[in-house]
Amino acid sequence: MSPLDFLTDLVNPDLAFLPKALLVAVMSSIVCGVVGCYVVLRGMAFIGDAVAHAVFPGLAVAFVVSGNLILGGTLAGVATAVLVAVFAQNRRLREDSVIGVFFVAAFALGIVIISRAPGYAGSLQQFLFGSITGIPDEDLYVVGGAGVLVLGVVFLLHKEFVAITLDREMARAMGLRVFWLDIVLYVLVTLAVVISVQTIGNILVLALLVTPAATARLLTDRLAVMMLLAPVIGGLSALVGLYVSWSWDFPTGGTIVLVLTAAFLTAWVLAPRHGLLARRLRRPPGIPADPAGTVVSPTGS
């Protein structure tokens, strides 16, 4: 199918779900791309994964009682994020253990709840792997509204998020409310995940958070550039992924993630300063490669 055919299908009134799916996929990729920059830079991919799985019981409850999926998912995700943040205050347990306890518990709860719903096998698959059909019109507004809210909070609290990522002790000493900023960041991650789950699915949503931001990180050493590049990479990959999946009848979520991964691998090889190719070309003959690629090792010397 040529891109022109895809365009024709997009405006075909019989296929009204397609432009809706595209819009939701692109909007959620943009939001995930921006929030994902913090996730990647703080090394909190695991909490992203946890929140992604933790929204599942909320979605399941909303599904069983025919409530709003986004609202249900958000409540469950936020509840889990807060539990993790509170329990991680205990110095005996590292945060990753606490996350490990709660996110599997939340996911298990979701499975138990959804097993109570009639015909659950089909809906389970839809939750786990996403679907481009059956997005209600109101979801466009909810996703758009939630997206604007998330980006607005990021804009307002950016300097604080940077400060707590760079040096938590210093941030505390400066009087920043590190605990509350963590919670706000977790809530933002949750919202970004929830609005993305519909199209891309529960299992794969982590890729929307991590891969565009990681790709952007390979391409730049400037945070502002990274936070612009990541949503562009995410949005474009969602567009291309939907096109490919529509053309060849591939599952949408999986295709989008594979396109993202291809973008990441391309950046790994071709990145202008730190890419594989650039390092090979820069290295004068006879001198072995410096694995760090920069002047000093991360710990200093």
Partner 1 sequence: MSALGVNDLTVDLGGRTVLTDVHLTVDKGELVGLVGPNGAGKTTLLRTLMGLLRPRAGHVVVDDEPVRRRRTGLGYVPQRHEFAWDFPISVENVVMTGRTGKLGLFRRPGVADWQAVAEALDRVRMTELRTRPVGELSGGQRQRVLLARALALQPSVLLLDEPFTGLDMPTQELLSDLLLSLAREAHAVLMTTHDLPAALYTCDRLALLNRTIVAAGTPDQLRDERLWMDTFGVGAHNPLLKILKAG
Kindly state whether residue 45 participates in binding partner 1, applying the rule CB under 8 A.
no
- Binding positions for partner 1, 13-42, rule CB under 8 A: 41
Contact of 48 with 193, CB cutoff 8 Å: yes
Look-up of token digits 């979801």: 139
| C-alpha–C-alpha distance, residues 116 and 113, integer Å | 6
Question: In the complex with partner 1, which residue's Cβ is closer, 198 or 220?
Answer: 220
| C-alpha–C-alpha distance, residues 72 and 219, integer Å | 37
- Point out which span in 19-27, 196-204, 221-229, 234-242 binds partner 1 (CB under 8 A): 221-229
> Closest distance between partner 1 and the C-beta of residue 160, in Å?
6
Return the residue of 223, 232, 244, 278 that touches partner 1, per CB under 8 A.
Answer: 223
Spatial neighbors of 201 by CB under 8 A, at least 6 apart, are 126, 127, 128, 129, 130, 131, 253
Question: In the complex with partner 1, which residue's Cβ is closer, 122 or 300?
Answer: 300
Alpha helices by DSSP H, 65-177 = 69-87, 95-115, 120-129, 137-166, 168-173
Return the residue of 14, 137, 169, 249 that touches partner 1, per CB under 8 A.
Answer: 169
Q: How far is CA 131 from the centre of its chain?
A: 17
Question: In the complex with partner 1, which residue's Cβ is closer, 13 or 159?
Answer: 159
> Closest distance between partner 1 and the C-beta of residue 159, in Å?
5
Contact of 131 with 204, CB cutoff 8 Å: no
Question: In the complex with partner 1, which residue's Cβ is closer, 284 or 298?
Answer: 298
> Closest distance between partner 1 and the C-beta of residue 166, in Å?
5
> Closest distance between partner 1 and the C-beta of residue 271, in Å?
13
Kindly state whether residue 217 participates in binding partner 1, applying the rule CB under 8 A.
yes
| C-alpha–C-alpha distance, residues 187 and 36, integer Å | 13
Interface with partner 1: number of residues (CB under 8 A): 32
| C-alpha–C-alpha distance, residues 72 and 151, integer Å | 21
> Closest distance between partner 1 and the C-beta of residue 191, in Å?
20
Kindly state whether residue 128 participates in binding partner 1, applying the rule CB under 8 A.
no
Look-up of token digits 């024709």: 8
Kindly state whether residue 300 participates in binding partner 1, applying the rule CB under 8 A.
yes
Kindly state whether residue 289 participates in binding partner 1, applying the rule CB under 8 A.
no
Kindly state whether residue 221 participates in binding partner 1, applying the rule CB under 8 A.
yes
Backbone angles phi, psi at 292, to 5 degrees: -75, -30
> What is the residue type of 243?
Y
Question: In the complex with partner 1, which residue's Cβ is closer, 4 or 224?
Answer: 224
The sign of the dihedral angle between the CA atoms of 276, 282, 288, 291 is negative
Kindly state whether residue 277 participates in binding partner 1, applying the rule CB under 8 A.
no
Query: What's the Rg (C-alpha) of the chain?
Result: 20
Kindly state whether residue 157 participates in binding partner 1, applying the rule CB under 8 A.
yes
Kindly state whether residue 159 participates in binding partner 1, applying the rule CB under 8 A.
yes
Task: Count Cβ atoms within 10 A of the Cβ of residue 39 and give its class: 0-12 exposed, 13-18 middle, 19 or more buried.
Answer: buried
Kindly state whether residue 160 participates in binding partner 1, applying the rule CB under 8 A.
yes
> Closest distance between partner 1 and the C-beta of residue 291, in Å?
14
Q: Which residues bind partner 1 (CB under 8 A)?
A: 41, 91, 156-157, 159-160, 162-163, 165-167, 169-176, 217, 220-223, 226, 294-296, 298-301
